Amino acid sequence: MGGSVTQAAGALRFDGRTVVVTGAGSGLGRAYALEFAQRGANVLVNDPGVAADGTRSAIAVADSITVRGGRAVANTDSVLDGGHIIAAAMDAFGSVDVLINNAGIIRDRSFGKMTEDDWRAVNDVHLTGAWRITRAAWPHMTGRQFGRILFIASAAGLYGNFGQANYAAAKLGLVGMMRTLAREGAAKNLLSNAVAPLAATPFTSGVMPAELAAKLQPGQVVPLLVVLAHEDCRENGALFEAGGGWFAGLRWQRSRGLRLDAGDALTAEAVLARWGEVTGFDTDADYPQAVEDSLRRALGARA
């Protein structure tokens, strides 16, 4: 789909806007919440987690915002109770303008050792939780003819990663949800995008070397979220990667493909004999963006 960002005359501000950030008690979510508050937003800090000292992490983040003069409330509901989270934002601030679906957990195991509980727990939080809270926010956004929804994806979902079949499936599922909502919401100024961050977080503790973690801080991802959440942004249905001060868009690429016409044998052997045409990207590759693009190819039309 795509879009653009209007060049702002000054700082990107969010005064009067309400930003809901799930999983905001630490790591990336905390960085998002602090930045939006600094830029004038009302922030609902959601996280059911408890810090090592027994304090609620969402409360600690909200307190760190309000002590600096910002506006924030804490919420400790699970994203599976997304309606409660959105209701809390409406009660506190009267609107929900930006939703950042960041909440997540990991249950990493190699596929042969992964249990049904491992699969369900991860998908419940990442995918079902995102669906529930977005579904709760949707009517408020459509009623105001404004909304920015950001889905936090992952390189694991885009490329796969050992021991993360559950996590990767959930994260790529968010991209599919985002692309659909981008189409459904565009006419009402509800724009959806996804970001796959590369950053050191509590999830990577003990796994990512300290030298690498120092170069991939959560705050280095935040500027992209600010741009995509702003009212001047028209980007919609797009997927990005960000980390270490690097920001890039991603898109699907498709080979020209093999067409077997009426005079050709429509067999597995015929496909195998010309396998290079199926998998080669050197000639006439294109960049599909919609189901219709695939239908045109399947029905024989040239892009």
- E strand map for the chain: 18-21, 42-46, 71-75, 98-101, 147-152, 190-197, 239-243, 246-250
Query: What are the tens digits of pLDDT across the range 234-286?
Result: 999 999 999 999 999 999 999 999 999 888 899 999 999 999 999 999 989 99
Please state, in angstroms and rounded to a whole number, the distance separating the CA atoms of residues 212 and 222. Answer: 18
According to the model, what pLDDT value does residue 139 have? 98
35, 39, 42, 47: CA torsion to nearest 10: 0
According to the model, what pLDDT value does residue 202 have? 72
Separation in Å, CA 272 to CA 102, 135, 258, 261: 43, 45, 10, 15
Q: How confident is the model at residue 130 (pLDDT cuts 50, 70, 90)?
A: very high
Asked if residue 4 has pLDDT above 70, the reply is no
Hey, where are the domains in the chain? 18-250, 253-303
User: What's the whole-number mean pLDDT along residues 204-211?
Assistant: 70
Q: How confident is the model at residue 192 (pLDDT cuts 50, 70, 90)?
A: very high
Query: What are the tens digits of pLDDT across the range 145-187?
Result: 999 999 999 999 999 999 999 999 999 999 999 999 999 999 9
* Catalytic option among 32, 159, 167, 287: 167
Catalytic residue status for 32: no
Tokens describing residue 139 = 């009517």
Percentage of residues of the chain with pLDDT beyond 90: 81
Query: What are the tens digits of pLDDT across the range 80-98?
Result: 999 999 999 999 999 999 9
According to the model, what pLDDT value does residue 298 have? 84
User: What's the whole-number mean pLDDT along residues 26-41?
Assistant: 97
DSSP result, 73-89: EEE---GGGHHHHHHHH
Tokens describing residue 48 = 């059911």
Cβ burial 202-216 (10 Å sphere, 16+ → b, else e):
ebbeeebeeeeeeeb
Specify the pTM. 0.92
Rg (CA), the chain: 21
- The verdict on domain 18-250 having CATH code 3.40.50.720 is yes
Query: What are the tens digits of pLDDT across the range 8-22?
Result: 558 999 999 999 999
Neighbouring CB atoms inside 10 A of 298's CB total 10
